[in-house]
Amino acid sequence: MIFALLNDLKKQSFTGIAHVRTKSADTRIHWKIYFNNGQLIWGDGGTHSHRAWQRHLNKYCSQIDLKQVNLRNSEQYRCSEYHCLGILLQRKLTTPEIIQELIVSKIIEVFFELFQQEKSIALELEREPLSLTELIGETTGYSPLSIDIEIAFKKMQQYWSAWVKSGFASVDPNHAPRIKSKEQLLKAVPAVVYQNFTKLLDGRRSLRDLAIRMNKDLLLLTKSIYPYVYKGLLELVEVPDRDTISSNGAIPAIPSQVQTNLGTKPLIACIDDSPQVCQIMNQIITKANYRFLGIQQPMQAVPKLISVNPKMVFLDIGMPILNGYEVCTQIRRVSKLQDIPIIMLTGNDGVFDRVKAKVCGASDFLSKPIEIDKILQTIEKFSEPNVPIRMLSG
């Protein structure tokens, strides 16, 4: 088993690259696992090496304008992607915590692909010892980040178990959903579902790409799409990788759906554990010429808001674990976010809810279900100059 061989490199305190390849002459796929003193620092390769890199930049570094960062010398290092992340850390454009999350996510994705491939095809491993400097360059200004291979493998296995339990053992998340017949689909689903499917499921975005674009967990997304695959309305097709390096040696441009996040338009956030609500709000807000950030995990809300500095926040009240009142109180405790308009969303339009929302620092209060006109009117109201932020009436 390939993971036993990788674990041996941990025991040897190996520094360098573990090259993992398929043995089949018909299917040649190459992965690279990077080690520093027996600890994992990065993983790349596979069927969508370049897409995976761009996805992770999109998810974790969307607030950074990479065009303003000189990354042209990165290619001289064997682990050039990690070197790029090191530059972001050296210049304090992001935090070690965010980069750590990115690294762990990337390694787990590579491990998932390795584990799934090894179920059907033999893999082989070749060591290439290298120094840390050869791998990622000088680490002045930051400490190299890593993860223990056993921890990474355990995290991957947990996700793989959930994937298999859902009946997706043979489903490749690097494949892209595509509509088989628009006429049949139109007859079988509501108009809003049809519109979303025709917009997103064009056979060019993999399941992993869609999960990032829609800010949705990969497994939940696949579960929501697969009933239509079973019915023969959708199909999963192979999709090619993207190019990685432009002619001038710079990091590739972020795909169009994320480039909007790097512009100068004001950003509006929505904190709601419902993927459907976030998707609807995304459509309303982006059409109104604003950038959008959907946050479905309330525990992550405050750190994300601090990093993106939104113009306004829509916040659902009825969320499990951490409700909207608690999140609103946490936001108001951050000096950077104290004057940002917070609009509470709820299915209960009662006096008690309004009073409680006012006490925790909310700026306004909207009832669900979401109405486009009311959302746009609220945005316009708080976009006007000299409007007091905490103006919620009792």
CATH number for position 328? 3.40.50.2300
How many structural domains comprise the chain?
3
Based on the fold, state whether residues 301 and 364 are members of the same structural domain: yes
Answer yes or no: is 388 within a domain. Answer: no
Exposure of 206 by Cβ count < 10 A (0-12 exposed, 13-18 middle, 19+ buried)? buried
Based on the fold, state whether residues 289 and 310 are members of the same structural domain: yes
pLDDT at 125 over 60: yes
Based on the fold, state whether residues 207 and 297 are members of the same structural domain: no
Answer yes or no: is 330 within a domain. Answer: yes
Which residue matches tokens 């793989």? 160
Based on the fold, state whether residues 150 and 182 are members of the same structural domain: no
Based on the fold, state whether residues 100 and 53 are members of the same structural domain: yes
Based on the fold, state whether residues 286 and 331 are members of the same structural domain: yes
**Strand order in 39-45's β-sheet?**
39-45, 30-36, 16-22, 123-129
Q: What percent of the chain stands above pLDDT 90? A: 51
Neighbours of 325 (CB within 10 A): 19
Q: Where a domain ends, among 221, 237, 253?
A: 237
* pLDDT value at residue 71: 65
Confidence grade of residue 307 (pLDDT, cut at 50, 70, 90): confident
Cα–Cα distance measured from residue 363 to residue 354, given in angstroms and rounded to the nearest whole number? 10
Exposure of 370 by Cβ count < 10 A (0-12 exposed, 13-18 middle, 19+ buried)? middle
Based on the fold, state whether residues 189 and 211 are members of the same structural domain: yes
Based on the fold, state whether residues 16 and 155 are members of the same structural domain: yes
Answer yes or no: is 257 within a domain. Answer: no
Answer yes or no: is 30 within a domain. Answer: yes
* pLDDT value at residue 280: 86
Based on the fold, state whether residues 130 and 211 are members of the same structural domain: no
Answer yes or no: is 247 within a domain. Answer: no
Which residues is 44 bridged to in the sheet? 32
Which of 352, 343, 354, 329 is CA-nearest to residue 387? Answer: 343
pLDDT at 367 over 50: yes
Answer yes or no: is 152 within a domain. Answer: yes
Confidence grade of residue 178 (pLDDT, cut at 50, 70, 90): very high
Which residue matches tokens 């969508």? 48
pLDDT at 11 over 60: yes
* pLDDT value at residue 354: 77
Confidence grade of residue 352 (pLDDT, cut at 50, 70, 90): low
Confidence grade of residue 114 (pLDDT, cut at 50, 70, 90): very high
Least confident of 19-33, 133-147, 261-275, 375-389: 375-389
Answer yes or no: is 251 within a domain. Answer: no
pLDDT at 393 over 70: no
Cα–Cα distance measured from residue 318 to residue 367, given in angstroms and rounded to the nearest whole number? 12
- Give 201's contacts (C-beta < 8 A, 6+ positions apart): 176, 177, 178, 179, 210, 225, 234
pLDDT at 67 over 50: yes
Answer yes or no: is 16 within a domain. Answer: yes
> 231-285 pLDDT, tens per residue?
999 999 998 886 433 333 333 333 333 333 334 578 999 999 888 788 889 888 9
* pLDDT value at residue 152: 96
Which residues is 344 bridged to in the sheet? 315, 365
Domain housing 349? 264-383
Based on the fold, state whether residues 131 and 185 are members of the same structural domain: no
The rounded mean pLDDT for the chain is: 85
Based on the fold, state whether residues 159 and 194 are members of the same structural domain: no
> Tokens at residue 76, please?
């001289």
* pLDDT value at residue 390: 44
> pTM to 2 decimals?
0.62
Q: Where a domain ends, among 142, 165, 188?
A: 165
Based on the fold, state whether residues 20 and 136 are members of the same structural domain: yes
Confidence grade of residue 309 (pLDDT, cut at 50, 70, 90): confident
| Beta-sheet strands, E only, within 87-170 | 123-129
Q: Where a domain ends, among 165, 196, 217?
A: 165
Which of 93, 118, 110 is CA-nearest to residue 55? Answer: 110
